[in-house]
Chains A and B, each alone.
Chain A
Amino acid sequence: MSRTTSARAGETRSGWLFVTPVVVILGLFLVAPILMAFWVSLSDWAGRGSPLSGAVTFVGGQNYTDLLGQDSLARSDFATSIRNNFYYVLLVVPLQTVLALGLALLLNQRRLKGLSFFRTSYYFPTVTSSVAIGSVFLFLFAGSGSVNALLKLVGVSGPNWFADPRGLLHLLLGAVGVGNGDEQGPAALTDHGFLSLSWWDWLAGPSVAMITIIALVIWVSAGAYMLMFLAALQNIPAEVFEAAAIDGASTWRRTVSVTIPLLRPTLFTVLTLGLIGTWQVFDQIYVMSKGNPSKTTLTPAYLAYDSSINQGAWGQGTAISFVLFAIILVMTGIQSWILRDRDKPRRRLGRAQRGGAGTGGDVGGYLATAGRQQR
């Protein structure tokens, strides 16, 4: 045997050996659960003993049809959770992106005094636990809490945030005289609907209670995305701006027409991570509202958990998980299609100019958000 082949064999052996622990753990706790869940979602397992025992029978798509097929409480709950989460995503993703970008641009000025202080204050919430932050916001938005005290100072009597199930859109429509600004809308919208919810209910918008959770999430996650934008900003070569400056474009113009287009890859990453994260909102709901008031903060992730663990409807809970998985895939797909790079055939996210030793801006940011949103 020549030296090289033995070295080769050694490398193969070691290679496999080195990856085994990770492969085993990820396989056991990420891949196997998917298979197990798929089986449970097709079975009538009711939470006693093992789902793999002989007493459990195959029921086909029963759990899925209960969820999507016929009018039932399960279906209306699911539709409600999808509606809530949809409005949540609709507000959180753009707002956190804009806030993160704004903060990054502000911090990217020349000779900024106190840069590190500002950067740290915006980033700090990202490293704290969602449970701790949740408790702070529960206090801030309590009926007799800080936010209402602040509103009182300017003469506004604030709502009872966490107890207020009224939808924002309903309130706005009510203000312009559609419906009575509350439960009952015009008959044209209340008599018909989709998936057990009337059109009027679909149009509710996020409830006042959900707004508080939305505010919390934007406040927390903007810091992580800000860091990603900052990293990208610092990778933009200075020459790019010199041309624009010679043209005499104002700062604002330069930001809009030069800087932001160059941030496109990062923007793409931020939006994708935001979308994936926001469709799975769980921690904040568990800590702050448990789906109350009137199910207006119910989200698919929490509903899946609640159906399985609190109501023993395991098949339904896992079915919800799979439908949620499909939603995330589809949404991410649609979004990357909309944002696809039409000018360049290269669809890779912009490679960095400097191959320096780095933990990677996007990866770092990804992890900062991953740390809070997914494992």
Chain B
Amino acid sequence: MSTRTPRPRTLRLALIASTAGALALTACSGGGGFDSGSGGGQTQAAAKGPVTITFMITSNGPADVKLQQDVVSGWEKKTGNKVNVVAASDINQQLTQGFAAGSPPDLFFTDANVFPTYAKAGNLVAYGDQVTAKDDFYPGLVKTFTYDGKFYCAPKDSSNLALVVNTDMWKAAGLTDADVPKTWADLETVAKKLTQGDRKGLVIGDTRDRIGAFMKQAGGWIVNDDQTQMTANSDANLTALKEVQKLLQSGSTAFPKGVDSGWGGEAFGKGRAAMTIEGNWIKGALKSDYPNVKYAAYELPAGPAGKGTLSFTQCYGVASASKNQAAAIDLVNYLETDAPSLQLAKGLGVIPPLKSAEAGYKAEFPDDNGFLAGSSYAQGPVTVAGMDPVLKDFDSQIGSLQTGDPKAMLDRLQKNGEAVLK
């Protein structure tokens, strides 16, 4: 600090200036102000000239981000626009704050779980019908991203759950291809056989996104077909939860936390699980984190009511507050052509959303039949606005399924869900 003392008058001015400066900082317009809260879903005027699009993605690491950048670079060259790919650390939080601040990213991955909430609040542009490839999408995916009769956003890809097996442990336990579980009873048997020391035969995620597969196999599901009624407290669902409880209590099965892991893939990679139930994303994770683990993926075993699995998907959401909607939709159109969608699918190990890309995908991943097999009967996520907290609450209950009361959990889900559907 200098001790030179300027004249009082100048100092006083300096002081006023510094306060005013602090205020000026706060007064510059940055998307705040008093904008009207309307405008759900209508398209804004397009910006002129080359634009920069902010594209927020979720990633499992730097490799995913690089892949996304490589894929969009083709479009950048074609149009002269720029794309700024941002990897989110907590995409829900970042989008919510962005929407509230009036400055969300132009384009972003939107999970099927939260899609209806965003659509209902008017944060998304319903651009689905403007997508060139819209008739080439799998119908199930289009249904997932339709809200209030409007097809909102183009599906990015999909994945199905499969039974992922560590082939070395499988052989070491004296099991062969003939032992791949076809029924719940088979699953119990092999899980028991594969359990050894601090290694569990089977590790499954403790959320409805994994346990739900058992519900389907028992002939149940959380809501009815057109999602107008809760069907959570059905006997079928109770059968499913009791089966999972039985597995857990037998000691052959654990939730990831029980083997000190964040998710099934990690338990599997670390060798704490001989089998896990995960989707296609496990391939990329194993490749990057646990390259030495040898595995195979099989169709999930059937339950008392037949086969059942879950499919997961995300779409490319375009923000209704975005100034660059036209360019963003153009970028989606580019991404929804065969070459880029295959390039992404290959890199991430997911299934492209386009029927026309299926042949190319199968040729690329001959071993993925276990994941693909479920495509024809997989159950998509529940897409009801406001249902997310209810489902999360159910997840928090599942965590204590080993000792808890499955009936009470389902009743609670039923009750909370009915309050949302009212």
Closest B residue to A307 using CB positions: B389
Contact A182 B22 (CB under 8 A): no
State A14–B117 Cα separation when bound (angstroms): 53
The reply on A119 being an interface residue by CB < 8 A is no
| Cα A368 to Cα B18 with chains together (Å) | 29
Count of B interface residues, CB-CB < 8 Å = 47
Q: Is the CB of A160 within 8 A of B92?
A: no
B397 at the interface (CB under 8 A from A): yes
Q: Does chain A have a CB within 8 A of B139? A: no
A191 within 8 A of B: no
Asked whether A144 and B260 contact (CB < 8 A) given A49-B35, A54-B37, A310-B92, the answer is: yes
Is the CB–CB distance between B400 and A293 below 8 Å?
Answer: yes
Binds A, one of B44-52, B71-79, B95-103, B281-289: B95-103
**How far apart sit A313 and B121, CA to CA, in the bound complex (Å)?**
11
A48 in contact with B36 given A24-B23, A311-B388 (CB within 8 Å): no
Q: Is A109 an interface residue (CB 8 A)?
A: no
Considering the complex, give the chain A residue whose CB is closest to the CB of B100. Answer: A47
List chain A residues, Cβ under 8 A from B33: 50
A50 touches B34 (CB 8 A): yes
Whether A11 sits at the interface, judged by CB under 8 Å, is no
CA distance A24 to B397 in the complex (A): 47
Of the candidates A46, A56, A160, which one forms a contact with B121 in the assembled complex, judged by CB atoms under 8 Å apart? Answer: A46
Tell yes or no: A240 within 8 A of B by CB: no
Residue A20 at the B interface, CB < 8 A? yes
Given known pairs A24-B19, A53-B34, the reply for A73 and B260 (CB within 8 Å) is: no
Contact residues in A for B255 (Cβ distance below 8 Å): 163
Given contacts A48-B100, A294-B400, contact A162 B38 (CB under 8 A): no
- The CA of A170 and the CA of B34, in the complex, are separated in Å by 52
Docked-complex contact B405 and A183, CB < 8 angstroms: yes
Q: Taking A162-B257, A294-B400 as contacts, is the C-beta distance between A312 and B121 under 8 angstroms?
A: yes
Interchain Cβ contacts within 8 Å, total number:
117
Asked if B93 and A142 sit within 8 Å, CB to CB, the answer is: no
Residues of chain B within 8 A (CB-CB) of A183 are 400, 403-405, 408
Contact with A along B37-66 (1 / 0, CB 8 A): 110100000000000000000000000000
| Contact status A143-B260, CB under 8 Å | yes
The minimal Cβ–Cβ distance linking B295 to chain A, given in whole angstroms, is 23
B37 touches A56 (CB 8 A): yes
| A294 with B36: CB separation less than 8 A | no
Task: Give the complex CA separation of A28 and B19 in angstroms.
Answer: 13
Residues of B within 8 A of A162 (CB): 257
Cβ–Cβ contact A52 & B396, under 8 A: no
Report the Cα distance A45→B99, complex, angstroms.
12
Closest to A53 in B: B37
Per the 8 Å Cβ criterion, residues 8-45 of B in contact with A are: 12, 15-16, 18-19, 22-23, 26, 32-38, 40
CA distance A293 to B18 in the complex (A): 48
Residues in A neighbouring B258, C-beta threshold 8 A: 143, 160, 163
Residues of A in contact (CB 8 Å), total 45
Partner of B102, one of A49, A55, A308: A49
Q: Which of A53, A77, A163 contacts B257 (CB 8 A)?
A: A163
CA distance A293 to B258 in the complex (A): 12
Q: How far is the CA of A52 from the CA of B117 in the complex (A)?
A: 22
Max count, chain A CB within 10 A of own CB: residue among B34, B260, B390: B260
Given A47-B100, A49-B102, A73-B419, verify A182-B403 contact (CB < 8 Å).
yes
Q: How far is the CB of B339 from chain A (nearest CB, A)?
A: 36
Complex: chain B residue closest to A144, CB-CB: B260
Contact indicator B396/A48 (Cβ below 8 Å): no
Contact A143 B259 (CB under 8 A): yes
Whether B231 sits at the interface, judged by CB under 8 Å, is no
The answer on a CB contact under 8 Å between A52 and B34 is yes
B360 at the interface (CB under 8 A from A): no
A50 to B259, CA, bound (A): 46
Answer whether A50 and B35 are a contact pair too, CB < 8 Å, given A28-B26, A292-B396, A294-B399: yes
The answer, yes or no, to whether B123 is at the interface (CB within 8 Å) is yes
Q: Is B209's beta carbon under 8 Å from chain A?
A: no
Q: Tell whether, in the assembled complex, residue A160 and residue B260 are in contact, meaning their CB atoms are under 8 Å apart.
A: yes
Which of A73, A184, A292, A310 meets B390, CB within 8 Å?
A73
Instruction: State in angstroms the CA–CA spacing of A21 and B23 once bound together.
Output: 9
Give, as a whole number of angstroms, the nearest-CB distance from A66 to chain B: 10
Q: Does A295 contact B (CB under 8 A)?
A: yes
- Cβ of B56 to closest chain A Cβ, rounded Å: 16
Return B26 CB to nearest CB of chain A, in Å.
Answer: 7
Query: Does B416 lie at the interface of the complex (its beta carbon under 8 Å from any beta carbon of A)?
Result: yes
The contact of B22 among A25, A308, A310, by CB within 8 Å, is A25
Asked whether B122 is an interface residue with its Cβ less than 8 Å from the other chain, the reply is yes
Interface string of A1-38 (1 = CB under 8 A from B): 00000000000001001101100110010000000000
Contact A49 B37 (CB under 8 A): yes
Complex: how many Å from CA A308 to CA B93? 9
Give Cα A76 to B18, complex, Å. 49
Bound-state Cα–Cα, A24 to B23, Å: 9
A295 to B389, CA, bound (A): 12
Q: In the complex, how many angstroms separate the beta carbon of A139 from the nearest chain B beta carbon? A: 11
Minimal beta-carbon separation of B282 from chain A (angstroms): 21
Give A293 to B402 CA distance when docked, in angstroms: 13
Listed by A's residue number, 7 A-B pairs whose Cβ atoms lie within 8 Å are A14-B12, A49-B102, A50-B35, A183-B400, A183-B403, A183-B408, A311-B117
Chain A interface residues toward B at CB < 8 A: 14, 17-18, 20-21, 24-25, 28, 45-50, 52-56, 72-73, 77, 142-144, 160, 162-163, 165-166, 182-184, 291-295, 308-314
Q: Which B residues contact A (CB, under 8 angstroms)? A: 12, 15-16, 18-19, 22-23, 26, 32-38, 40, 92-93, 96-97, 99-100, 102, 117, 121-123, 255, 257-260, 321, 388-390, 393, 396-397, 399-400, 403-405, 408, 416, 419
| Closest 8 A/B residue pairs (Cβ) | A163-B257, A55-B37, A143-B260, A49-B37, A53-B37, A73-B416, A47-B100, A183-B404
Q: A143-B258, A163-B255, A183-B405 are in contact. List 10 more A-B contacts (CB 8 A).
A: A24-B19, A24-B23, A48-B99, A48-B122, A72-B416, A73-B389, A310-B93, A310-B96, A311-B388, A312-B96
